[in-house]
Amino acid sequence: MEPKESASDSGPPEEGHHGKGHQNALERALHAARALILADLEASDVARADIVSLVEAAVTHRRWWVGEWPEGVAFVDGLVAQDVQDALLERYGRWPVCPVCVGADFHALDVEPELGEEPHWVCGKTSTVVARVGYLGEKL
Ligand SMILES: [Zn+2]
């Protein structure tokens, strides 16, 4: 697996650039991951201030983590999503709730692949791919 740049993604507005080359790629990836998970949180109407701070904490942690393992930069979308999901479980409850199993068993979607590119929210009970991480709003 090789990290790929989402150059085609005009994406969210970028803040200042610090450093260059590798560092820029890392900050772009983290910024994109942050925007994706925030979009999903907003779609679920849980983007409150205290929850946004959980996202910031996850991004900070992954910045350190990619510093230790640069190849991991390709996986930050899915990892930040899982970090936030775990943090929410403690403070808020299961998120995001599966829209496929409405009225049946109440459960949260899983991120698949757990460590890979192009992570998606998946219903583990019915093996249904619900949405790309960051695009949950189209499905809820
Ligand atoms: Zn489900």
* 78 alpha carbon – ligand 1 mean position (Å): 19
CB-CB contact of 74 with 1 (8 Å): yes
**C-alpha to C-alpha distance for 67 and 113, rounded to whole angstroms:** 21
What confidence score (pLDDT) does residue 140 get? 75
What distance in angstroms lies between residue 136's CA and the mean position of ligand 1's atoms?
14
Ligand 1 centroid, distance to 107 Cα (angstroms): 6
Residue 93 Cα to ligand 1 midpoint, Å, equals: 16
130 pLDDT tier (thresholds 50, 70, 90)? very high
- Give 88 Cα–ligand 1 centroid separation in angstroms: 18
Distance 28 CA to ligand 1 centre (A): 32
Helix (H) or strand (E) holding 122, with range, is strand 120-123
pLDDT digits (tens, 9 = 90+) for 53-102: 999 999 999 999 999 999 999 999 999 999 999 999 998 899 999 999 97
Token representation of residue 72:
């991991």
Q: Is 80 exposed, middle or buried, given 0-12, 13-18 or 19+ CB atoms closer than 10 A?
A: buried
Contact by Cβ (8 Å): 75, 100? no
Q: Is the pTM of this model over 0.85?
A: no
